[in-house]
């Protein structure tokens, strides 16, 4: 059984020592000490051809996981890639989570579905280097040509004599060898893979189901203090005064003080820290806290004002992002023109594990334990905040109870560090309440689309126009994080006459990356309007989409971006349609909907089937996905990612929204922004088209097409279009 553990601070020191002994040698643009250097640093017999592999003389194989684990499965799948090329049985592997280490090859974070494509090829080389050296060690021991030695599942075999040696018997020899150039090693033929593509359970599964202390919120340390941090309910406010003496006199409270914060909207924010002997006391003290806030102009901002402004601008032309052909002339002469407006709200990330971090400042060193998606950012911000040297900030990565982009920010890390810096020598854990988590987020931006489309008498899409109205952080020139739109957004590139314009409304509400940023909402609007045009053209929604995609080919982006392969998208459309029995006869009140989207280099189509009662009660019966992200690393994890994306999309579209009232978030908990319940979950099917393309990530691509597939199914069942999210804003009742 594969096990998981976390590297201690000592192991990190070993790495630093070994790096120095290795003379700063680089492997794959990373710090990769040699086997001899690591063995010398640890004072034991170990074969460690690089930072990611350790094989001990007792046969224990340890593989390093360097990226944060959020439930996306990379703590399992990335070491699987190494294990495949290393030729080691998975049941003999222990996976260790390393903390943040400067200089490692590739981003040591989690987001953007980038872990698999960013590491697949290099991690194959990492494993192949180890395998090659073990084969060389066996050849040396047997005094035979290395070409006659073949690694196979923890052994090296001599192909002629049939002799074999276990890896553990080769550790001493292999540890003395120089590692080959990673570009020179031979990689396995994928058809000979023994591990990749199989269903492999997560290395943390046992600890999760037995309540093991994996997450940031689980952290316990001797002498630990517990803190809460109170920000203004209105974005941008600063602290004038607070009744600190009253709070300090409360039983169980250790200290209370004001933190000024910085001007960095993604770093340390102004507020009041309350430190206590337990979390309950810290939370309870918040209720007695009275703060006089220096009010910002955010108090004048409201969701309904954004809505009114967007509606007034809809028919105007914004800043031109792209214009192909002669759109206006086609609209003027087309026999069928359709116009429609779509809008969606702000959304919170609603991580089930609220924001938290534990920090200890002692002997000039800041040590941090945090569920961060971006530990490098936390390291850098804390270093700059307190003018510390790089090696005086240590960041340990815990497992993360939901991220979706929220934990790319370091604000909660900075809070814990600031409080720990004040209480030097005592570890402090900062934990947010659910209300704080929902009201102090970096939200998925609200947005508005005013579409106009033309179809000819031949039933083909002739022209397309989208005026996209979005939000900027106090700017009319720059969109908020995750709030923009690509100038290549479908159906641009696929039709001759297309126009895309954009207007940015200024807002002081923090915005940030969300799951499938931008695409998560834009795809709903675009694919819903495509359905409207298909109906106007008298076409089947599937055939209409296939025709727009056109012949199999790869279309290059106009600017920054990636090529769009029409054949791969058509493949997943047909796959999902086939598995869902697309077009089957259904009674009134039941319907199918289809949608697709290209996101994070992944091609996904979804077919939804719903039932809506005459009084408007919605049941989503099934969601069936066709997916092409190239070869699959871990089939179990891949399926889970697609299933989770579809459920997340359904949950956010059905019930959730964030409303701004006088610069404050109205919603505060799951009672007024509810998550999907188990009883509402549909049947889920995931079908992979494993094409011969480089593998890409799966954390996000299945989210964008899910919501429009459901919306289109609702229309098929009821005749009512969903043009505003969440679904609960539309009366779905119908008459026969």
Q: Rounded to whole angstroms, how far apart are CA atoms 695 and 630?
A: 4
What is the third-level CATH fold of 216-296+355-431? Aldehyde Oxidoreductase; domain 4 (3.30.365)
**Which of these, 346, 347, 352, lies nearest to 434 by C-alpha position?**
352
Q: How confident is the model at residue 41 (pLDDT cuts 50, 70, 90)?
A: very low
Q: How confident is the model at residue 633 (pLDDT cuts 50, 70, 90)?
A: very high
pLDDT attached to residue 2: 65
Instruction: Tell me: cis bond preceding 726? Omega within 30 of 0 counts.
Output: yes
Strand order in the sheet with 447-455: 319-324, 498-507, 461-473, 447-455, 336-344
Averaged pLDDT for residues 255-270: 96
- What is the per-residue pLDDT across 662-673, written as a single tens digit (0 to 9) for each? 999 999 999 999
Averaged pLDDT for residues 49-77: 97
Here the tokens at position 171 are: 């550790």
Q: Rounded to whole angstroms, how far apart are CA atoms 227 and 219?
A: 13
pLDDT attached to residue 3: 63
Q: Rounded to whole angstroms, how far apart are CA atoms 735 and 8?
A: 65
Q: Rounded to whole angstroms, how far apart are CA atoms 679 and 620?
A: 11
Q: How confident is the model at residue 44 (pLDDT cuts 50, 70, 90)?
A: low
Residue scoring higher pLDDT (36 or 677): 677
Whether the per-residue pLDDT at 533 is higher than 70: the answer is: yes
**Which of these, 199, 195, 198, 25, lies nearest to 127 by C-alpha position?**
195
Whether the per-residue pLDDT at 495 is higher than 60: the answer is: yes
Q: Which residues of 404-427 are buried (b: 16+ CB within 10 A; e: fewer)?
A: bbbbbbbbbbbbbbbbbbbbeebb
Here the tokens at position 725 are: 């999210």
What is the third-level CATH fold of 3-209? Aldehyde Oxidoreductase; domain 4 (3.30.365)
Q: Which residues of 236-258 are buried (b: 16+ CB within 10 A; e: fewer)?
A: bbebeebebeebeebeebbbbbb
Question: What percentage of the chain exceeds 70 in pLDDT?
Answer: 94
Q: How confident is the model at residue 45 (pLDDT cuts 50, 70, 90)?
A: confident
- What is the per-residue pLDDT across 281-322, written as a single tens digit (0 to 9) for each? 999 999 999 999 999 989 999 999 999 999 999 988 899 999
Averaged pLDDT for residues 12-32: 37
Here the tokens at position 724 are: 């505003």
Mean pLDDT, rounded, of the chain: 94
> How many angstroms separate the most distant Cα atoms in the chain?
85
Q: Rounded to whole angstroms, how far apart are CA atoms 474 and 491?
A: 30
Here the tokens at position 468 are: 């996209």
Q: What are phi and psi of 63, to 5 degrees?
A: -115, 140
Q: Rounded to whole angstroms, how far apart are CA atoms 483 and 50?
A: 40
Here the tokens at position 668 are: 């505060």
Q: Rounded to whole angstroms, how far apart are CA atoms 576 and 189?
A: 30
Averaged pLDDT for residues 177-192: 97
Here the tokens at position 134 are: 């073990």
pLDDT attached to residue 559: 64
Specify whether the CB–CB gap between 316 and 467 falls below 8 A. yes
- What is the per-residue pLDDT across 405-464, written as a single tens digit (0 to 9) for each? 999 999 999 999 999 999 999 999 999 999 999 999 999 999 999 999 999 999 999 999
Q: How confident is the model at residue 7 (pLDDT cuts 50, 70, 90)?
A: very low
- What is the per-residue pLDDT across 74-112, written as a single tens digit (0 to 9) for each? 999 999 999 999 999 999 999 999 999 988 878 999 999
Q: Rounded to whole angstroms, how far apart are CA atoms 527 and 707?
A: 9
Q: Rounded to whole angstroms, how far apart are CA atoms 629 and 494?
A: 21
Q: Rounded to whole angstroms, how far apart are CA atoms 33 and 24?
A: 8
Residue ranges, CATH 3.30.365.10, the chain: 3-209, 216-296+355-431, 303-346+443-729
Q: Rounded to whole angstroms, how far apart are CA atoms 467 and 311?
A: 11
- What is the per-residue pLDDT across 688-698, written as a single tens digit (0 to 9) for each? 999 999 999 99
Question: What percentage of the chain exceeds 90 in pLDDT?
Answer: 90
Please determine, looking at this structure, whether the domain spanning 303-346+443-729 carries the CATH number 3.30.365.10: yes
pTM of the model: 0.94
Averaged pLDDT for residues 345-349: 98
pLDDT attached to residue 103: 84
Averaged pLDDT for residues 580-596: 98
pLDDT attached to residue 560: 63
Instruction: Tell me: cis bond preceding 503? Omega within 30 of 0 counts.
Output: no
Specify whether the CB–CB gap between 600 and 715 falls below 8 A. no
pLDDT attached to residue 562: 86
Whether the per-residue pLDDT at 12 is higher than 60: the answer is: no
Whether the per-residue pLDDT at 32 is higher than 70: the answer is: no
Q: Rounded to whole angstroms, how far apart are CA atoms 146 and 349?
A: 54
Q: How confident is the model at residue 5 (pLDDT cuts 50, 70, 90)?
A: low
Averaged pLDDT for residues 199-203: 98
């Amino acid at each position: 059984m594969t096990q998981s553990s976390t590297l201690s601070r000592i192991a990190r020191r070993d790495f630093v020592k070994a790096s120095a002994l290795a003379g700063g040698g680089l492997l794959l643009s990373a710090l990769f000490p040699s086997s001899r250097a690591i063995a010398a640093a640890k004072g034991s017999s170990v074969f460690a051809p690089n930072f990611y592999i350790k094989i001990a003389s007792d046969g224990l194989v340890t593989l390093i996981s360097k990226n944060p684990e959020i439930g996306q499965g990379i703590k399992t799948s990335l070491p699987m890639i190494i294990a495949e090329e290393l030729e080691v049985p998975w049941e003999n592997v222990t996976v260790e989570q390393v903390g943040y280490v400067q200089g490692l090859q590739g981003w040591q974070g989690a987001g953007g579905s980038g872990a698999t494509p960013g590491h697949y090829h290099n991690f194959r080389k990492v494993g192949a280097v180890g395998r090659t050296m073990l084969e060389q060690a066996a050849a040396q021991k047997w005094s035979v040509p290395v070409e006659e030695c073949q690694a196979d599942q923890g052994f090296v075999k001599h192909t002629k004599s049939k002799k074999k040696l276990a890896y553990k018997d080769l550790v001493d020899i292999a540890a003395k060898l120089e590692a080959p150039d990673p570009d020179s090693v031979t990689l396995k033929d994928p058809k000979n893979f023994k591990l990749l593509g199989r269903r492999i359970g997560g290395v943390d599964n046992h600890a999760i189901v037995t309540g093991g202390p994996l997450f940031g919120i689980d952290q316990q340390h001797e002498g630990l203090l517990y803190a809460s941090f109170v920000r203004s309910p209105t974005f941008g406010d600063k602290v004038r005064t607070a009744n600190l003496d009253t709070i300090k006199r409360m039983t169980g409270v250790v200290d209370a003080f004001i933190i000024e914060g910085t001007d960095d909207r993604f770093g340390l924010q102004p507020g009041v820290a309350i430190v206590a002997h337990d979390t309950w006391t810290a939370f309870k003290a918040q209720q007695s806290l009275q703060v006089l806030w220096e009010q910002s102009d955010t108090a004048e901002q409201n969701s309904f004002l954004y809505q009114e402004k967007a509606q007034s601008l809809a028919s105007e032309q914004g800043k031109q992002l792209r214009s192909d052909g002669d759109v206006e002339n086609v609209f003027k002469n087309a026999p069928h023109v359709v116009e429609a407006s779509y809008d969606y709200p702000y959304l919170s990330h609603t991580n089930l594990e609220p924001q938290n971090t534990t920090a200890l400042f002692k002997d000039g060193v800041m040590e941090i334990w945090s569920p961060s998606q971006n530990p490098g950012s936390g390291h850098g911000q804390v270093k700059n905040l307190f003018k510390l040297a790089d090696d005086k900030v240590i960041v340990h990565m815990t497992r993360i109870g939901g991220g979706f982009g929220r934990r790319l920010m370091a604000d909660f890390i900075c809070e814990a560090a600031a409080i720990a810096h004040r209480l030097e020598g005592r570890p402090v854990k900062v934990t947010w309440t659910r209300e704080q988590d929902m009201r102090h987020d970096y939200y998925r931006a609200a947005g508005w689309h005013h579409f106009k489309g033309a179809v000819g008498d031949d039933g083909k899409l002739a022209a397309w126009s989208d005026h996209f109205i979005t939000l900027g952080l106090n700017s009319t020139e720059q969109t908020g994080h995750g709030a923009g739109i690509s100038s290549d957004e479908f159906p641009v590139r696929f039709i001759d006459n297309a126009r895309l314009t954009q207007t940015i409304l200024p807002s002081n509400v923090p915005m940030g990356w969300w799951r499938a940023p931008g695409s998560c909402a834009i795809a709903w609007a675009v694919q819903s309007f495509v359905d409207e045009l298909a109906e106007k053209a008298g076409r089947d929604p599937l055939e209409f989409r296939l025709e727009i995609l056109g012949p199999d080919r790869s279309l290059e982006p106009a600017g920054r971006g990636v090529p769009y392969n029409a054949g791969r998208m058509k493949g997943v459309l047909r796959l999902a349609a086939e598995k869902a029995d697309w077009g089957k006869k259904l009674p009134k009140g039941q319907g199918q909907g289809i949608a697709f989207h290209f996101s994070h280099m992944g091609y996904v189509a979804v077919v939804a089937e719903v039932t809506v009662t005459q009084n408007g009660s919605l049941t989503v019966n099934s969601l069936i996905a066709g997916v092409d992200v190239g070869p699959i690393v871990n089939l179990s994890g891949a399926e889970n990612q697609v299933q989770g994306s579809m459920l997340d999309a359904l949950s956010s579209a059905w019930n959730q929204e964030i409303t701004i009232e006088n610069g404050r978030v109205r919603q505060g908990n799951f009672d007024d922004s509810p998550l999907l319940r188990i009883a509402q979950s549909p049947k889920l099917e995931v079908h992979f088209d494993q094409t011969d393309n480089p593998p890409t990530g799966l954390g996000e691509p299945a989210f964008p097409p899910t919501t429009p597939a459901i919306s289109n199914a609702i229309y098929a069942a009821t005749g009512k279009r969903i043009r505003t999210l969440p679904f609960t804003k539309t009366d779905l009742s119908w008459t026969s």
